[in-house]
Structure 1
Amino acid sequence: MLDYRRFKEINDLFASSQPEKARRLLMEMQSRCIALRDEMSMLKVRLQTFEDILYLSQNLYEEYGFYWLRTAGIKQGPFCPHCYESEGALIRLEKQHKSLLCPYCSTSYKGTVRVMTETAEPLAGRQARILPFAK
């Protein structure tokens, strides 16, 4: 932690014509400050990781043998159960004829397209909107 009394000490050293001692003390303060900023950055990343884990634990659920994610009231998925259980990865399954296929691990879930089409939120009515650029 930074000791703010050191700033007054540095100021006093400059005032008493001892610039080398003041510079040495300033460099020490600088290295402490850099170390604290690095620690804060690391802690922010850890906090974000924990917030993501908490969000997933509250919004990820299993239904019909597949994993689904609820975001802003919309049901997203299905996600590959093999990838999630083995690696913790949420890989969305792709529809292929009468089965679902994981693009990552290539696991095929035959006869399950009905599950995806019946339970997923319909995308009909939601169209992309083209925004013109200002000139």
Structure 2
Amino acid sequence: MLDYRLFKTINDFFASGQHDKARHLLMEVQSRCIALRDEVSMLKIRLKTLEDTAFLAENLHLKDGFYWLTANDVRQGPFCPRCYESEGGLIRLERSQKGLHCPYCHAVYPGIRQEAEYQDGATVRHARIIPFAR
């Protein structure tokens, strides 16, 4: 914890001509500030992790054996159940001729419909590539 009375003491040392003592106290205040800044950074990371965990707990759903993430009223997925349950990773499954497969753990889920569906039943539309004019 930073003691703000040290600033007055430092000022008094400078005013009385005791520059070495003032510099020593300034270095101590500096090291305390760095330690506090590191602690704040660590706490921000922990808070972000907790917020992300709470978000996933609210918005990640298991349906038909696959994980789906709902964010801003858009359903995203499906995500690999093996990766999520073993390592906590959200790896989006890719379509192949065999069904769906995970690009990370290489699990294959055969017999799954080729087109994922939104909650309202509409099929996913693929983006169209529009070439730029030269």
Question: Shorter-chain TM-score category?
Answer: 0.7 to 0.9
Once the two structures are TM-superposed, the CA of residue 127 in structure 1 deviates from its matched residue by 5.7
- How far apart, in 2, do the equivalents of 1:67 and 1:20 lie? 63
Unaligned runs of 5+ in 1: none
Number of residue-to-residue matches in the alignment: 131
- Partner residue of 2:125? 124
- How far apart, in 1, do the equivalents of 2:131 and 2:16 lie? 68
Identical amino acids, percent of aligned pairs: 57
- Partner residue of 1:60? 60
- Partner SS, residue 109 of structure 2: strand
Tell me which stretches of 4 or more aligned residues in structure 1 moved more than 6 Å: 128-131
Once the two structures are TM-superposed, the CA of residue 128 in structure 1 deviates from its matched residue by 7.1
Once the two structures are TM-superposed, the CA of residue 64 in structure 1 deviates from its matched residue by 0.6
- How far apart, in 1, do the equivalents of 2:101 and 2:125 lie? 23
- How far apart, in 2, do the equivalents of 1:130 and 1:56 lie? 37
Answer yes or no: is the 8 Å Cα contact 2:117–2:124 preserved in 1: no
Once the two structures are TM-superposed, the CA of residue 97 in structure 1 deviates from its matched residue by 1.6
Unaligned runs of 5+ in 2: none
Greater RCO structure (CA 8 Å; 6+ sep):
1
Answer yes or no: is the 8 Å Cα contact 1:98–1:113 preserved in 2: no
- Partner SS, residue 116 of structure 2: helix
Instruction: Tell me the TM-score normalised to structure 1 length.
Output: 0.87
Once the two structures are TM-superposed, the CA of residue 126 in structure 1 deviates from its matched residue by 6.3
1:100-119 to 2 correspondence within 5 Å? 100-114=100-114, 116-119=115-118
Letter in 2 for 1:8: K
- How far apart, in 1, do the equivalents of 2:124 and 2:98 lie? 19
Instruction: Tell me the TM-score normalised to structure 2 length.
Output: 0.88
